[in-house]
Amino acid sequence: MKIYWNKENNSKNLIGQRVKALRIEKHMSQKALAEQLQLAGYEFSDLTVLRIEQGTRFVPDYEVVALAEFFHVSCEYLLGVKNEK
């Protein structure tokens, strides 16, 4: 596994800003997002979501897929490879 760490902004993931934007777009709290992901069978807490959004947590590939599926966007969009959802 390749671990990403952007030392310029001290971020440990690529998806935090887009996850936050998508969550706000859906008018959801971090807790509500975590609860929905838990219902889908993933181990997320509101603290997990907070750390992803702040860039202080590494995000494994299966969580990128889970978030992309939940928000109905591509993994490439979350990772910043593509700009269209």
Query: Which residue shows structure tokens 């902004």?
Result: 9
Residue 81 CA: distances (Å) to CA of 9, 14, 76? 18, 10, 5
pLDDT at residue 28 in the model: 97
Q: Where are the alpha helices (DSSP H) in 1-85?
A: 16-25, 30-39, 46-54, 61-71, 75-79
Q: What digits encode the pLDDT tens for the residues 71-84?
A: 999 999 998 888 88
Q: How much is the pTM?
A: 0.86
* Separation between Cα atoms, residue 5 and residue 56, nearest integer Å: 10
Cα within 13 Å of Cα(67), Cβ side: 30
Ranges under pLDDT 70 in the chain:
1-10
Cβ atoms of 45 and 57 closer than 8 Å = no
